[in-house]
Structure formats: C-alpha cells, structure tokens
Structure 1
Amino acid sequence: MTTPATSQGARTRVAVVGGGQSCEHEVSLASAAAVAAALDPTAYDVVRLTIARDGRWASGDRALGLGEAVTVLQSCAAVLPVVHGPRGEDGSLAALCELAGVAYVGSGVGAGALAMDKWATKLVAGALGIATAPGVLLTAATATSYAWTHPVVVKPVAAGSSHGVSLVGDPSRLADALAAALALDDRVLVEDVVAGREVDVAVLGGPDGTRVVSPALEVVVDGWFDYEAKYAGGADFRVPAALSDAERCALEEAALAVYDALGCAGVARVDCFVTGDGPVLNEVNTMPGFTEQSQVPRMFAAAGMSYADLLDRLVRDVLPGRAVS
C-alpha cells in the first residue's frame, strides 16, 4: 500500500471524488469541481477522481480500474466523497474507504444508508417524536392498488435533487407520477402535502462530539421546488430564515436529534417544513449539493464561516491528530 502523503512539502494529499452512477451525476460533478477548486492550494494537494455513469473510475483523462482507484485513495491522507445519491451518498463510498483503510469526510456506512432511505428516516423520526408527513410505502406490485383521495407528493425512496418527485393534485396524474418514481427506485413514498414553510438547517459534527447548527435557510419558490427550481435559479434562498425563537429552537432540536439518531458525521442538511404545530421533517441529506452557492455553504457563510474554511474544517476533522477542538 502507498503511504498517505503530505506531498509537495507540508501539503496534505486529499482525494475529491465526484460523479457517480445516480441521477445526480451532473450535480455531483459540479459539487466536486467546486470543492476541489476551493480547497486551499497551500494546504492541500488535491487529487481529482471521477466515477462515470457506468461506474468506471478516472483521474482526469486517465481511466482507472477499481484496484488502481483504491491505490490512489490509499495514497491520500483523506477522501472527500462528493457523490450524491445511491452508490455514493448511501454509504457505498464510505464502505469503500473503510475497506481501504482511508480517512474520509462525512457520514459512515450505516448513517449514509439510513438517511438515503426516506422511509427508514421517517421511522427513526417517529421513534424520536419528530413529526413527518403521513404517507405510505409502495412498490411496483402494490402501486396499482393505491387509490388517490387527496393531493399527495410522490417520490422515490432513495433519490435526490427532486428527481422523480411529483406533486399530484388530481387522480389523472397519479399513474404517471408513480411510474416516474418507480423508474428510479423499486420503492416509492406517497405522502400528504404539508402546509408550511420549507426551512433547512445544517448540522456540523466534530470528532470531539460537539455539534454546530447553522442559521436556518428558507426556500421560497413560486410553485413547486423541483429540479429546475433548485438548479436553474428559480428558488429564493433566504438565510437566516425569519423564525421566532420558539420556531428556531424547535427546528434546531429536531435537527440535532435526527442527526444523532441516524449516526451522522461531518455535515448533514436537515430539511423541514415549519408549521403552526412545529417542525415536520422532510428528509436528511448526508452529502448535499456542495458548490459555494448551495444551501449548506450559504448557511454557514451566514454564520461567518467561508466556503474554504468549511471545507478545511471538514477535512481537518478526519485527519488523525489534527482534530478541531
């Protein structure tokens, strides 16, 4: 095995992995490129690795076999796996790093798998007394028997960036919505529409057990917060969100509780609806979008932590002997 290096003098060698085999491939490429460019070049020697849609690895234009890719990872002091969605964020890359014996940023295998599974996340939240939207779990075998009675949101259990998510306001659209979700996952959630403000917070956990909650961010959009609204500039991100002290405290308590119960590490984004009855958990993202303009960096920027400093904190927290106190 190649010894992890602090090559080029005192610089720490860090691998940034992007791409992946999920429908979030392009979003991941953008996140990984932004992360790699923002890491301080005087502190880090960045190795950029890409996973193609077919699962093949590459370093720049050079194709790598999986064994070669693992060798490259093992030559690094830490890995930043900026791969969203299944076969990345769901614990797959964490497992590869664990087996390769390489330190990595973010949640481990179990937390990644649990948080990616929206149904499992609902069960964990329910056990904590945190509200979620009433819903049912369907498969291809059971979807045909589901009868529409009121407006619902249909979504794949394990996908992100609003791919395959539909707001169904009348029964004529139900079949197409179920088909779109089932095209991405063999399990589908059908949930009641929650009337509330969409407000997110991020939790940053340290190796010493400390937890930092970012200022809240409200997503304001004219209509449905779909893929286009997220990435084509159709959404207004307001941070800090205008919340009462009671709303903010309830939101932060729910975010911390679900972060810890899922076993998250590093940073995770907790998406909620703020209602008159308190926060309603929507989902948890253990590797959310991570360009400088993405929600999590914006939230920490509002707290005075720059994008580069946030990335530096995440990497330093996983380096042996260099944990942040």
Structure 2
Amino acid sequence: MKNIAIITGGYTKESEISMKSGKMVYENLCRKEFNPYQIYILKEEWFFMKEKKKYPVDRRNFSIKIEKQRIHFDCVFNAIHGSPGEDGMMSAYFELLNIPYTGCDFHHSNMTFNKKYCLTLLKHFGINTAKSYFLNKNETFCEEEIIKKIGLPCFVKPNRSGSSFGISKVYKKKDLSNALEKAFEEDQEIIFESFLEGREVSVGVFSFGDEIIVLPITEIISQNDFFDFESKYSGKSQEITPAKLLPIIKNKIQEVSKKVYSCLNLSGISRAEYIIVNEEPYFLEINTIPGLSEESIFPKQLKTAGISFSDLLKKYINFSIKKMNEGL
C-alpha cells in the first residue's frame, strides 16, 4: 500500500477551490492500492487533520507523525491551484526531497503559470493568440499607446493568477485605471489582451509518458460578460460537452491542443482555453493543475469520454512515481 499525500489549499484566493479538488481526489483514490492523506498547505501552517486534531508537517522531509507513527509518502498528488502549487514552488521542493509528485516539473509549471512567458513561447511556435501588452507595477505607460495596439474592448489580467481573479473587461478608456487597480491587487505584473469575438472552448489533455490524449471538447457559454469567477463556480454559464463543432474545427482544436501540450513540454493532466475565431482556435491560457471538483470541467470531460476518474488517478500516481524513479 502506497502512502499518498494530497496537497490542497495554497496561498491564494483559489484555496477554497483547491480544497474541493483535493476532496474529490481523496474520495476517488483506490483504497486497495493507496492510503490517502489530505495535507493542508496554508501560509500560516502545513498540517494533516484527523478527528479535529492537527498534525504538523515536518518540512525537512515532508512527513507527519501521528501519535507514535511517522508517516512518509510514496507520492504527492498536487491539487493546489495557484501558488505555491501551480507555479512550480512545491514541485521544486519535492524535487529537492526526491519525493515523486504529480504534475510538471518546476520549470514548466512556472512558465505556464506566467501568462507572459507562456504566450511568448507559444507565439514562437506559431500558435494563434490575442494581441497583448505587458506592464509592471510602477512602470510608466501611455494609455493611448496601449489602446492603439490592443483596441477596445480589451481584457486586463494579472499575469500570474487563476480562476479569473482580478480580470476586467474594459470598454472605455476611462475604465482602464479601475481595471489596473483590480489586477494589481493580485499581481505585480499585468497583461492587456485584445478582445476576441468567437466561441470559447475548454480542452482537457493528458499524457502519462506515451501518447497525448485530447478529451471531448467543452463549449462555454457564459451568462456574464465573460467566463469570470461567478460563471465558473456559481452556475452562471452553460457548459456543453461534447461541443457541437464541425469536424474540421474539432480536428483543428485537437491538433493545436496536442501541439501546445508538446511545445510546453507538459506531463500529466492539463486544461486549456481557446476562442474560435473564423474557424481558427486562438489560445487563451492553460492550467497544469485543472479543477477536479464535481463542478469542474475536466472530470466531466473524462466522464463523457468514458474514462474512470479513479483509474486516471491511479495511472497518474503510478506514472509520477515511475517518472521520478527513472528520471523521465
């Protein structure tokens, strides 16, 4: 029996969502092969909780002591959205301790979490993206120059954030300052992106060392102005899986999704968003630790594909252990 630490929480506003993902993983892990422990990673403390009693994590070797028994882990399932899970910090920590973990390594996690780096790399490989403009906090800038390049309406986003926190859709120049303030509350760097008129789709992709599998595509139709936090987590959107797409468009999205996954050198599971403009997919962003709660898109896509969530978790963990042990 392998001891599996499911890390949840994190240091951002996505903490609550992460705990839902972690709970889903905990409930679906096969008890014949795994002993799961839900570990809370919070700014204030790292701990395991049993019968309302907290057991602190020994950060020197990532172990816990329950009464007189010391528990070490065979693998860590990373279910932290945002920092320090999705930005690679935990990956680097486990790499140093030589503990297998799910997800990408530090370099690729850090790059994909940073919208600026991710978009720049994918543009280099010929992937369609919106026009963008990057800005650091306290950097001088000209609003007219930004509008001239990006156009209106446009999106103002934190460069390193998830779940649509800090994002604004700006229609008029006078609204830029409020959008900037909102974005800078989440990050020291922000990104302006041109508005793309089209259909939004979400694409789950995974690979455990062999072929890259693209899951059934989901079309997102938001009741709000865009697919914001409320749309994602409060039922303010319609999610159609599989999306009703012409075969030629479906094939394009599948091929682009595989190319993005490969160019970013990913492993394990991911979910990316695209806008279809004139039958061409435009990349928006990617999540290397996608939501895994009951409301999340990725598990729904697995169900549509006829893939058992429990079986996928089993393969994911065993692949991660093999990856670490064999240096893949």
Q: How does 1:132-143 map to 2 (within 5 A)?
A: 132-142=129-139
In the TM superposition, what is the alpha-carbon distance from 1:233 to its structure 2 partner?
Answer: 1.0
The DSSP-based 3-state class of the residue aligned with 1:88 is coil
Q: How does 1:120-269 map to 2 (within 5 A)?
A: 120-142=117-139, 145-147=142-144, 148=147, 150-207=152-209, 209-223=210-224, 224-269=226-271
Q: Which amino acid aligns with 2:4?
A: V
In the TM superposition, what is the alpha-carbon distance from 1:292 to its structure 2 partner?
Answer: 3.1
| Rounded Cα–Cα distance in structure 1 between residues aligned with 2:314 and 2:304 | 17
In the TM superposition, what is the alpha-carbon distance from 1:203 to its structure 2 partner?
Answer: 1.2
- Give the alignment's TM-score, normalised by structure 1: 0.90
Partners of 1:271 and 1:284 within 8 A in 2: yes
Q: Which amino acid aligns with 1:309?
A: D
Q: Which amino acid aligns with 1:126?
A: K
Instruction: Give 2:62's aligned residue.
Output: 70
Partners of 2:216 and 2:304 within 8 A in 1: yes
Partners of 1:220 and 1:237 within 8 A in 2: yes
Q: Which amino acid aligns with 2:264?
A: L
In the TM superposition, what is the alpha-carbon distance from 1:65 to its structure 2 partner?
Answer: 4.9
The DSSP-based 3-state class of the residue aligned with 1:268 is strand
Instruction: Give 1:40's aligned residue.
Output: 30
> Which digits, 9 at most, give the CA deviation of each residue in 1:222-278, with x for residues without a partner?
222111111011111110111111111111111111111111110011111112150
Instruction: Give 1:51's aligned residue.
Output: 41
Partners of 2:157 and 2:168 within 8 A in 1: yes
| Rounded Cα–Cα distance in structure 2 between residues aligned with 1:125 and 1:85 | 21
| Rounded Cα–Cα distance in structure 1 between residues aligned with 2:115 and 2:20 | 24
The DSSP-based 3-state class of the residue aligned with 2:134 is strand
- Give the alignment's TM-score, normalised by structure 2: 0.90
**Cα 1:98–1:55 shift into 2, 3 Å:** farther
The DSSP-based 3-state class of the residue aligned with 2:63 is helix
Range that drifts further, 157-166 or 67-76? 67-76
| Rounded Cα–Cα distance in structure 2 between residues aligned with 1:267 and 1:45 | 22
| Rounded Cα–Cα distance in structure 2 between residues aligned with 1:206 and 1:177 | 40
| Rounded Cα–Cα distance in structure 1 between residues aligned with 2:283 and 2:258 | 12
Partners of 1:297 and 1:310 within 8 A in 2: no
Partners of 2:57 and 2:63 within 8 A in 1: no
Instruction: Give 2:110's aligned residue.
Output: 113
Q: Structure 1 residue aligned with 2:78, among 77, 81, 94?
A: 81
| Rounded Cα–Cα distance in structure 1 between residues aligned with 2:180 and 2:61 | 37
The DSSP-based 3-state class of the residue aligned with 1:141 is coil
In the TM superposition, what is the alpha-carbon distance from 1:71 to its structure 2 partner?
Answer: 2.5
Range that drifts further, 36-45 or 19-28? 36-45
The DSSP-based 3-state class of the residue aligned with 1:45 is strand
In the TM superposition, what is the alpha-carbon distance from 1:219 to its structure 2 partner?
Answer: 0.8
| Rounded Cα–Cα distance in structure 2 between residues aligned with 1:181 and 1:63 | 36
Instruction: Give 2:9's aligned residue.
Output: 19
In the TM superposition, what is the alpha-carbon distance from 1:176 to its structure 2 partner?
Answer: 0.9
> Which digits, 9 at most, give the CA deviation of each residue in 1:37-71, with x for residues without a partner?
1112222110110012x242011142525526613
Q: How many aligned positions are there?
A: 311
**Cα 1:306–1:292 shift into 2, 3 Å:** farther
| Rounded Cα–Cα distance in structure 2 between residues aligned with 1:310 and 1:151 | 40
Q: Which amino acid aligns with 1:57?
A: W
In the TM superposition, what is the alpha-carbon distance from 1:178 to its structure 2 partner?
Answer: 0.6
In the TM superposition, what is the alpha-carbon distance from 1:143 to its structure 2 partner?
Answer: 6.1
Question: Gapped runs of 5+ residues in structure 2?
Answer: 65-69
Partners of 2:276 and 2:282 within 8 A in 1: yes
Partners of 2:112 and 2:286 within 8 A in 1: yes
Range that drifts further, 190-199 or 306-315? 306-315
| Rounded Cα–Cα distance in structure 1 between residues aligned with 2:159 and 2:44 | 22
Matched, 1:285 2:287: yes
Moved over 4 A (4+): none
